[in-house]
Chain A
Amino acid sequence: MDGQAQIVVERVNHTYRPPRGRPVLALSDISLDIRPREFLALLGPSGCGKSTLLYLVGGFLPIEAGRILVEGKPVAAPGPDRGIVFQHFALFPWKTVRGNVLYGLERQGLPRPEREKRAQAFIDMVGLHGFEDSYPSQLSGGMRQRTAIARTLAIDPSILLMDEPFGALDAQTRSLMQTELLKIWQRSPKTVIFVTHDVQEAVYLAERVAVMSARPGRVKAIVETKFPNRDPSILRSKEFVEKVDQLWNMVRDEAIKAQEATGS
């Protein structure tokens, strides 16, 4: 198993220690293997540590206990091999849409004409043509989110860490973006970890769905969600609806637990 997994998370803990206030155990003894080129969705109640797990794989937080291997090597620092779309976008407010999308390409040392062409292609892809010179403060939440997606996809990382990347989008735009993401993933296969609250989205996009328990987070169950194709028509098929139901119940149980934990 170890040999073929692209990302190995092994018995990892994470405790937040805010300067004021008591420590928070966010992840406890979590293990997860992700195969090369796999599309894995991560479901779990709010506050269970999904973002924390992405930050650890991304190399942004120190690993205190356990280990995380990417292609066999322990994660030490962030790098452009692991592109991340942050839950709160993390766009540079002083750069325009174009400037934000260009930034990573500049750091990769792409020659100017090539990076401008590439940036434009991804801006067009997320439907922001005409807003290239707008600053993030002049955009809606969904537009900012799409800028963040374009920025990360443009550097073509082999691993994509996406933290509720379509959370701020309306149903229509969300569906278009899902299709685009699947196209990109099929064209140049990447390993994707995709955090979402939308069970249907998880089942539709992912090959496997990992359900996390309430905080402190660990993986409660992994469900295979591979379908013969990803035609939107499968959304109404019996197997699909059943999978969604099954996962929905698991997530709901954990959400209730999370509620009770904060209530007591």
Chain B
Amino acid sequence: MENVAKTAVRYLPIVIVMVAWEAIARLNLVDTLALPPLSKVAAAWFDLMRDGELVSNGASSLYRGSAGLLLAVLIGGTLGMIMARCRIFDMLINPLVELFYPLPKSALIPVTVLWLGFGDGSKILLIFLGCMIPVTIGAYNGARGSDHALLWSARSMGAGSFRMMWDVVLPSALPELLNGIRTALALAFILLVSSELIVSQRGFGYLIGYLGSTGSYEGMYAVVLTVALLGFAVDRIYQLLMQWLLRWRD
């Protein structure tokens, strides 16, 4: 009961914003074209759901986002751990990571289109490249911090090099790696929607751009809110997953 009350208080500001939005729009305090009432946005959302636009565009966005992120986690994570354990790799790759780090990844949108065209491939590549940086850095920093006594311990009980990576280096790196992935998750949403806005015929970003340019602002708001909510939900679920994976920490 107390928990329910706490949650209610926590989300109260959101409710206030929703009510204020509706009121401002209804009272014609701003142009209703620029800010349609929330109730109309909700109606537009149901329309978009009914005709399947939201679901089909959402599905292709989700596919691109998760494929890019998955590749970034697998390849970036492995790369970061190997860099931490192997000096030659570190010397070769680290300068590249540092060079690539400050580059605004959205600048790569035209480049990836040039390479892979307007379809899924260019979006996946863009998200992969952008997300790889925080994942690699997280894995690298985490793995470098692994306690040598734990490595010794595993060695003396008969673990080989691969097993030590999997059994000791990876779990040691996990807290920082998971934080890196969380950053990557947020970045994936940004890159996904902005690239779809600019160059795409499908996806959330495309739908936002299309509805905006044809003057269906209620629909546009509905998609924007959907993306925001989805991002929030994904981050929440991810945090729960993180807590579970790191349950061994005090």
B157's nearest neighbour on chain A, judged by CB, is: A104
A103 CA / B168 CA spacing, docked (Å): 11
A90 touches B153 (CB 8 A): yes
B248 on the A face (CB < 8 A): yes
A86-B149, A88-B149, A93-B249 known; A80-B156 Cβ under 8 A: yes
A87's nearest neighbour on chain B, judged by CB, is: B149
B155 on the A face (CB < 8 A): yes
B2 on the A face (CB < 8 A): no
B174 on the A face (CB < 8 A): yes
A3 CB, min distance to chain B CBs, angstroms: 27
A107's nearest neighbour on chain B, judged by CB, is: B158
A137 touches B249 (CB 8 A): yes
A92 CA / B157 CA spacing, docked (Å): 12
The secondary structure that dominates the B interface is helix
Within 8 A of B (CB), among A50-66: 55, 58-60
B89 on the A face (CB < 8 A): no
A96 CA / B248 CA spacing, docked (Å): 8
A254 CB, min distance to chain B CBs, angstroms: 26
Contact of A60 among B152, B158, B171, B249 (CB under 8 A): B152
Contact of A135 among B158, B168, B248 (CB under 8 A): B248
A98 on the B face (CB < 8 A): no
Q: Give the chain B neighbours of A90 by CB distance below 8 A.
A: 147, 149-150, 152-153
A92-B171, A94-B171 known; A83-B249 Cβ under 8 A: no
Within 8 A of B (CB), among A77-118: 77-80, 82-84, 86, 88, 90-96, 103-104, 107-108
B51 on the A face (CB < 8 A): no
Tier of interface size on chain A: 20 to 34
Q: Mark B165-196, 1 if CB is under 8 A from A, else 0.
A: 00110010010000000000000000000000
B48 on the A face (CB < 8 A): no
B158 touches A92 (CB 8 A): no
A79-B156, A107-B159, A155-B157 known; A92-B168 Cβ under 8 A: yes
Q: Give the chain B neighbours of A84 by CB distance below 8 A.
A: 152-153, 156
A151 CA / B157 CA spacing, docked (Å): 9
Q: Give the chain B neighbours of A58 by CB distance below 8 A.
A: 152, 156
A83 CA / B171 CA spacing, docked (Å): 23
Q: Mark A211-252, 1 if CB is under 8 A from B, else 0.
A: 000000000000000000000000000000000000000000
A103 touches B155 (CB 8 A): no
A-B contact pairs, 26 of them (CB 8 A): A58-B152, A60-B152, A78-B155, A78-B156, A79-B156, A82-B156, A86-B149, A86-B152, A90-B147, A90-B150, A91-B153, A92-B153, A92-B168, A92-B171, A93-B249, A94-B171, A94-B174, A96-B248, A103-B154, A107-B157, A107-B163, A108-B157, A135-B248, A136-B248, A137-B248, A137-B249
